[in-house]
Chains A and B, each alone.
Chain A
């Protein structure tokens, strides 16, 4: 079980990643410290750098600059550290010619801390046939299998890269439920990336918004919600706000401006009426700001623009 004094799950300073010499800058100046014991959601549009950050975290790639420690040491530093982190890659790859049972054997042979009883129980619970070839599994079943392999080695941290992206809503729901069961049973921390805020909202208590290769905002979900608000002011009325209040995004409708603001530490009176902001609004506000569309039209239009940017 994680303790208050356990090393942070993630500690990144000045972390950057560039693919190739003239390639794309996938991550720029990421500074993050995330305590243990959280379920962390990593949201952002496709191509924002989510996979890059997670691949760095499990040591599949190395940073171009800066440093990253996961559970207190360099990612994939040695076999012992590999045993502490479970990773499920995008599209949940498995060996097509192996049966489900053979995948469990693979896990048992390659992990000293393997929990065969847990693995078998989970496989039964999600209704996988042990004799079935993994190549013939549905996307949802394959995801469940990959999750079981990652979890039955009893890691302290589970990392999922867009695990539910290719799943239908029902399979996605089943997967996320199973994931949360594992996290509770193992007492593990988990990181979960998605471009669907819905998934994140269901399971995560910590949020990182990644856009345009940069971390836009990161923090405890509840703290983020109390630290932000929606303000409605007459047009032009947002110019005179107390210091410490930051406007994330403004949307003009008729004679009024609707703004998502970060109230920060200011507890002083605000000049205009505010109401609580939803997590979706908050995330969209940061995404829109990163896209340079702070005063655009509807939020839906903007997210669509995000999808087509890639």
Chain B
């Protein structure tokens, strides 16, 4: 059975190996480059002002590339699930070759299990190696920028990609088994897995571990440290605030700007401060608007995850994905034994 699985997989395996070699070669090049950039940053990091500028420059040089690569790595499991997982059973059912395979002296669950293990472990290995290489390449950048909880970055480091590969692949296999047609199974896997990734990263991940809560006074300095103020819909919101006690923590949720009595600041007052603040000549990101808003004695309530929980999150997320893959695989095995061609 191992022989058959490998014989059917070898062309895809070769393609995967070539693609991985290209990815690894590029990441080695990039990693070296990032380390050179890091050396320059350290050399220029004298005094607060110079250091901040060197840091900003280092960040600007690699941020987009690394974000792009993280997004690309997020696609790898989806692509493997689509092109390796979905056709695994569906193509046999379509070509009727399953009648040949299932009438050898190997039971259907064993046939399926061997195929899934051979191809699935290869998918996990490929994704895992690509993820590990990206983690290595980005290590100096991550050390400086400390953005490890941002949605894409988190999923493109250490263990998490392996769990994604396992789930995408078992999802593809099951879709092929249930739909019995390759193309619809591929489409469902691609769309379904990407949708699940968004759902998990935005809804499940923040609550994997109960969050800490804090109330942050919105002084002019605090407002100026935020990334943006207000929204297109006119809400009295502030985004990208930092917790002074835990500056690198992952802010999972930020309330609107609130007055001391706990109510959201009146939209009119907020708008007036944003659009037409009294001139004070203040500097900072938001200048006069920050000073204007600070006068209202505002605060925000945030829920956050301290950086010390990073590995808890990595391990938990990977375990959840592997467990889900196990459930899908178990369902496939029961399904192929019980009712196959109904």
Interface, chain A (partner B; CB < 8 A): 19-20, 55, 58, 60-62, 76, 78-80, 82-83, 85-87, 89, 91, 93-96, 98, 102, 105-107, 109-113, 146, 149-150, 153
Please determine whether B97 and A95 come into contact, CB atoms closer than 8 angstroms.
yes
Hey, what's the 0/1 contact readout for B229-261 against A, CB within 8 Å counting as 1? Answer: 000000000000000000000000000000000
> Within the assembled complex, what's the spacing in Å between the Cα atoms of A94 and B99?
9
Indicate whether A94 sits within 8 Å of B97 (C-beta atoms), given known contacts A61-B342, A102-B7, A105-B3: yes
Chain A residues positioned under 8 Å from B2 (CB to CB) = 109
- Judge whether A106 and B104 touch: CB under 8 Å: yes
| From B1, B107, B108, B341, contact of A55 by CB (8 A) | B341
Q: Which residue of A lies closest to B97 (CB)?
A: A93
Query: In the assembly, what is the distance between CA of A111 and CA of B8, in Å?
Result: 18
Could you say which of B2, B99, B102, B103 has the most chain A C-beta atoms within 10 Å of its C-beta? Answer: B103
For the complex, give the distance between the alpha carbons of A96 and B7 in Å.
12
Quick check: B97 and A153 within 8 Å, CB to CB? no
Contact check, A82 vs B100: say whether CB atoms are below 8 A apart.
no
Taking residues whose C-beta sits less than 8 angstroms from the other chain, chain B's interface range is: 20 to 34
Given A19-B342, A60-B341, A109-B1, decide whether A153 and B105 contact each other with a Cβ distance below 8 A. yes
Say whether B97 contacts A82, CB under 8 Å.
no
| Residues A113 and B105 in contact, CB atoms below 8 Å apart | yes
Q: Beyond A20-B342, A62-B339, A106-B3, is A111–B100 a contact (Cβ under 8 Å)?
A: no
Q: B106 to A91, Cβ gap below 8 A?
A: no
Q: Does B283 interact with chain A (Cβ within 8 Å)?
A: no
In the complex, the answer to whether B97 meets A78 with C-beta atoms within 8 Å is no
Query: Closest CB of chain B to A295's CB: distance in Å?
Result: 39
Q: CB of B96 within 8 A of chain A? A: yes
Q: Which residues between 91 and 123 of chain B lie within 8 Å of chain A, taking CB atoms?
A: 95-97, 99-108, 110
Q: Which residue on chain B has the smallest CB distance to residue A83?
A: B105
The answer, among A55, A91, A110, for a CB contact under 8 Å with B105, is: A110
Point out the residues of chain A lying under 8 angstroms from B340, CB to CB: 60-61
Bound: A251/B256 CA distance, A: 91
Query: Does B4 touch A at the CB level, under 8 Å?
Result: yes
- B120 → chain A, closest Cβ, in Å? 20
Q: State whether A110 and B96 are in contact (beta carbons under 8 Å apart), knowing that A60-B341, A98-B7, A102-B7 are contacts in the complex.
A: no
Can you pick out 17 interface pairs between chain A and chain B where the beta carbons lie within 8 Å of each other? Answer: A20-B342, A60-B341, A76-B102, A82-B103, A82-B107, A83-B105, A91-B96, A95-B8, A96-B95, A106-B3, A106-B4, A106-B104, A109-B1, A109-B4, A110-B101, A110-B104, A113-B105
